[in-house]
C-alpha cells in the first residue's frame, strides 16, 4: 500500500491521465493498430491508427477512473482496519 500512498498524492486526474489514457489507452491503440494492419490490412493505412488513438485513450480514461476507485476503496478499507487495531 506504500506505492498507492505515493500515487494518490499525485491526485486522481494525474493518475487517470498517466495510467488510463497514456499507458493503457495508447499502448492498446498501438497494439491493436499493429495487429489489425497485420491481420486485416486496409487502404488507406492511416485510418485505423487515427481512430485507435482517439477511441482507446477515451476508453483508457474510464479504465483509469475505475482502477482509481477500486484502489481507493481497498485503501480506505485497510486504513479502517488499521484504525480499528490501534484503537481496540
Would you state the cell numbers that stand for residue 45, as one nine-digit string? 493505412
Contact call for residues 17 and 60 (beta carbons, < 8 A):
no
Which among 47, 25, 22 is positioned nearest to 36, based on CA atoms?
47
Residue extents of the structural domains in the chain: 2-82
pLDDT digits (tens, 9 = 90+) for 8-43: 999 999 999 999 999 999 999 999 999 999 999 888
Sorted by sequence, the CB contacts under 8 Å of residue 53 that are 6+ apart come out as 26, 29
Q: How many Å apart are CA 75 and CA 88, to the nearest integer?
A: 20
pLDDT digits (tens, 9 = 90+) for 36-76: 999 998 888 899 999 999 999 999 999 999 999 999 999 99
For the entire predicted model, the pTM comes to 0.82
Q: How many Å apart are CA 69 and CA 12, to the nearest integer?
A: 9
Amino acid at each position: 500500500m506504500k506505492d498507492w500512498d505515493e500515487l494518490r498524492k499525485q491526485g486522481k486526474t494525474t493518475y487517470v491521465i498517466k495510467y488510463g489514457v497514456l499507458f493503457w489507452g495508447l499502448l492498446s491503440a498501438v497494439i491493436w493498430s499493429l495487429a489489425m494492419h497485420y491481420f486485416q490490412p486496409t487502404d488507406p493505412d492511416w485510418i485505423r491508427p487515427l481512430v485507435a488513438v482517439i477511441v482507446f485513450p477515451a476508453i483508457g480514461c474510464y479504465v483509469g477512473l475505475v482502477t482509481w476507485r477500486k484502489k481507493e476503496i481497498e485503501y480506505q478499507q485497510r486504513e479502517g482496519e488499521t484504525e480499528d487495531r490501534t484503537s481496540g
